[in-house]
Amino acid sequence: MTMDLLRSIASTRLPKSITSPEDIDRVRILKAAGLVVASVPAPSRPLTLSGIEKAAQVLTITQKGYDELRRSCSSHE
């Protein structure tokens, strides 16, 4: 799920806009883990962490993110 999104991001040209609310949440997780550098919109209702959000922008994958991708790929072989 979150690693699937990271794999998808790695296979596209950056920066990449993410508009799905579920994927925006996944970008937050990737960013918090230090796997990507991204601009993520603040939730419109901060107490519930929900509401209409426009898009997240993934600017780059960090070295840690690439290391994690390599690790996850080698564990699937």
Range of the domain at 44: 2-75
Q: What percent of the chain has pLDDT over 90?
A: 70
DSSP for residue 52 = -
Convert the pLDDT of each residue in 26-49 to its tens digit. Answer: 999 999 999 999 999 876 655 555
Q: Name, in order, each residue with C-beta under 8 angstroms of 33's C-beta and a sequence gap of 6 or more.
A: 64
**How many domains, the chain?**
1
Residue count of the chain, please give it.
Answer: 77
Specify the pTM. Answer: 0.83
